[in-house]
């Protein structure tokens, strides 16, 4: 009898405690919601920031004909079956992101970190690689067709790169593991190599930062491109038929047919260069697409975005002029004038962003700010987050919170003020980087110096419709782009 009584008391105690816990969570949620000002804060459901184990396709009803699905290279939408032990950790991703940023800053300051030449016969010693390293080339990929008959290949798209390339048989030196069958140019009727004496071959120097080589036996032009972490691709500079969609086919498209490639691409076959150099996809297809393209990066890796070429409906797009950034004409440079946090404009000197300039980049993950600007942003953000428990830093991200006890929370809104009177309001997914529910971080980092170039990264671009009009000299932003 006493045992039954004790058991009953225990159940009663548990139910009362559970009810109190629910009551506390309800009161806390109500307090957060009542203090939420939609003009200055985001009310965030934690579940909205977490990826689902299944892929959700875009709900966009009518896509333009030249539109490709954009997927994150790590996640359920990828279809690239990576081994779990090879999927990078958040620390890995952020570490590689820093290497990419260092490489971009080096390019912009014209620093020479290696011998800028590619020796003939695909000399593998010219561009050394770290075995198994992650390449700093971007996170999102699309599928295009190469060759006749066409072979569908997954390529990472990158606005900070110019040369498009893919791995090719016979992989004379080395090829990393990719999901799609490796492209075999010998089975295509439209493939041809560019010769060493062609004026096209000489364009590689400015596009890749390396002087082209020459295969003495075939007189074929050899490209070599190295990324920030010493990953690389070396191969034949070639022409081939590129199929964007069934109705959009580009003949004699210049690309790299890689015979010696190292670095992990999340199973993708290579890279689609969307920079501003004459050999970039944007310039090569200028007659057809008028140097216009747009994309929307999904809020999580379990959602799908899109990449569209040619004119898009822009009734709700706000355009800011492209500016010039010294050191490289490949990047898309913007005039960043200021930042708002929770409705407060940061008190910064007019020279804070103009000294190093600003670029927008689809391949950089975390936005980099001048240290002066980052410190001001972090301080203002922390003021609006004082009610939440702090968490340890995550790699380069030093402002993190533990939301394991919250289903809903509020964060200050952040807006970027660009030239032309354009204000870009970031989505909640563009403010936070989620390591885990116990480590949700402010998704910004400081550059090493105030003179370094500011980089508007892809986390901040999530769910925005970003329109690049290189011909018109402007970049546009619209909200809710992936819907």
Q: Which residues are catalytic?
A: 158, 361
Backbone φ and ψ of 146, nearest 5°? -130, 135
Peptide bond into 343 cis (omega under 30): no
Greatest alpha-carbon span in the chain: 99
310: left (phi over 0), alpha (psi -120 to 50) or beta: left
Q: How far apart are CA 220 and CA 214, in angstroms?
A: 6
User: CA 168, 172, 174: angle at the middle one, nearest 5?
Assistant: 80
Strand partners, 146: 151, 242
SS3 240: strand
Contact 240, 144 (CB under 8 A): no
288-309 burial, b at 16+ Cβ within 10 Å, e below that, comes to: ebbbbbbbbbbbbbbbbbbbbb
134, with CB counted inside 10 A (0-12, 13-18, 19+), is buried
| Continuous H helices in 179-285 | 199-202, 204-208, 281-284
User: DSSP character for 357?
Assistant: -
In order of 175, 248, 280, 330, 331, the CA distances from 159 in angstroms are 24, 21, 9, 8, 7
User: CA 307, 210, 93: angle at the middle one, nearest 5?
Assistant: 50
Contact 463, 296 (CB under 8 A): yes
Task: Single out the residue of 482, 442, 437 nearest to residue 462, CA to CA.
Answer: 482
Q: In what order do the strands lie in the sheet with 336-341?
A: 344-345, 336-341, 414-418, 422-425
What length does the chain have? 483
Contact 208, 163 (CB under 8 A): yes
Peptide bond into 205 cis (omega under 30): no
| Continuous H helices in 151-220 | 199-202, 204-208
Contact 93, 73 (CB under 8 A): no
Contact 442, 378 (CB under 8 A): yes
């Amino acid at each position: 009898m006493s045992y039954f009584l004790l058991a009953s008391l225990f159940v009663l105690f548990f139910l009362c405690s559970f009810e109190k816990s629910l009551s506390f969570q309800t009161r806390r949620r109500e307090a957060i919601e009542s203090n939420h000002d939609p003009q200055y804060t985001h009310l965030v459901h934690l579940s909205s920031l977490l990826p689902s184990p299944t892929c959700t396709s875009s709900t966009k009803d009518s896509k333009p004909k030249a539109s490709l699905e954009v997927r994150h290279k790590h996640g359920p939408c990828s279809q690239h079956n990576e081994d779990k032990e090879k999927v990078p950790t958040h620390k890995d991703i952020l570490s590689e992101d820093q290497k990419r940023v260092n490489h971009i800053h080096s390019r912009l300051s014209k620093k020479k970190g290696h011998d800028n030449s590619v020796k003939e016969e695909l000399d593998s010693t010219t561009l050394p690689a770290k075995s198994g390293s992650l390449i700093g080339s971007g996170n999102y990929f699309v599928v295009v067709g190469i060759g006749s008959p066409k072979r569908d290949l997954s390529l990472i798209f990158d606005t900070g790169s110019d040369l498009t390339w893919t791995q090719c048989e016979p992989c004379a030196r080395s090829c990393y593991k990719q999901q799609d069958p490796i492209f075999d140019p010998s089975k295509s009727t439209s493939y041809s190599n560019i010769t060493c004496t062609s004026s096209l071959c000489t364009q590689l120097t400015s596009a890749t930062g390396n002087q082209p080589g020459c295969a003495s036996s075939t007189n074929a032009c050899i490209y070599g491109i190295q990324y920030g972490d010493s990953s690389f691709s070396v191969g034949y500079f070639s022409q081939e038929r590129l199929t964007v969609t069934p109705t959009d086919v580009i003949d004699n498209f210049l690309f790299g047919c890689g015979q010696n490639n190292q670095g992990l691409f999340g199973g993708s076959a290579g890279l689609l260069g969307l920079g501003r150099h004459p050999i970039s996809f944007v310039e090569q297809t200028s007659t057809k697409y008028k140097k216009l393209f747009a994309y929307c990066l999904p809020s999580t890796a379990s959602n799908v975005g899109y990449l569209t070429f040619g004119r898009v409906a822009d009734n709700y797009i706000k355009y800011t002029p492209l500016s010039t950034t010294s050191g490289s004409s490949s990047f898309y440079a913007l005039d960043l004038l200021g930042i708002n946090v929770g409705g407060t404009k940061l008190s910064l000197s007019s020279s804070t962003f103009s000294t190093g300039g600003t670029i927008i980049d689809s391949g950089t993950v975390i936005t980099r700010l001048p240290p002066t600007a980052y410190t001001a942003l972090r301080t203002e953000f922390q003021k609006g987050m004082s009610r939440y428990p702090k968490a340890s830093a995550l790699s380069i991200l030093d402002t993190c919170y533990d939301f394991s006890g919250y289903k809903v929370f509020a964060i200050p809104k952040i807006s970027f003020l660009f030239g032309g009177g354009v204000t870009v309001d970031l989505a909640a997914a563009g403010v936070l980087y989620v390591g885990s529910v116990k480590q949700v971080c402010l998704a910004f980092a400081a550059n090493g110096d105030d003179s370094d170039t500011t980089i508007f990264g892809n986390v901040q671009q999530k769910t925005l419709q970003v329109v690049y009009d290189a011909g018109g000299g402007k970049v546009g932003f619209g909200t809710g782009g992936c819907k």
